């Protein structure tokens, strides 16, 4: 089983990246939860269970980082480091950090 870490927000994401093994890092960007426990992002609501169901299949040499983003930062912030610097243009996004492999929105909902 891979090492799995969950963080919330951009500051905690940046701290996690500073300590991660970047060559072996898989990052999943999703939405924070509302009071009822569901994500504020409809695509994340559909994709989260699909991605979570595949975690046990990850190679043990990979590190999995789940990053939960809040709605105000994602939707309203004039400066979004994820969009501007790391080319994360949608939630959810599943990617190999520093590599071209990535899945976004509808792709994350497909278990195949």
Catalytic residue among 8, 41, 90, 108: 41
Please name the residue that has the structure tokens 């809040």.
Answer: 70
Annotation marks residue 108 as catalytic: no
Distance CA 2, CA 11 (A): 23
Active site residue 41: yes
- Active-site entry in 8, 44, 90, 108: 44
Q: Is 19 exposed, middle or buried (0-12, 13-18, 19+ CB in 10 A)?
A: exposed
Exposure string (b/e) for 21-33, b if CB count within 10 Å is 16 or more?
eeebbbbbbbbbb
Task: Give the residue numbers marked as catalytic.
Answer: 41, 44
């Amino acid at each position: 089983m891979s090492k799995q870490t969950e963080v919330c927000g951009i500051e905690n994401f940046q701290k996690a990246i500073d300590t991660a093994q970047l060559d072996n890092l898989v990052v999943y960007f999703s939405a924070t939860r509302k009071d009822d426990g569901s994500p504020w992002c409809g695509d994340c609501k559909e994709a989260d269970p699909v991605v979570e169901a595949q975690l046990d299949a990850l190679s043990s040499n990979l590190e999995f980082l789940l990053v939960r983003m809040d709605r105000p930062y994602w939707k309203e912030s004039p400066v979004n480091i994820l969009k501007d610097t790391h080319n994360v243009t949608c939630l959810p996004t599943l990617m190999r950090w520093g590599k071209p492999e990535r899945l976004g929105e509808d792709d994350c909902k497909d278990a195949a």
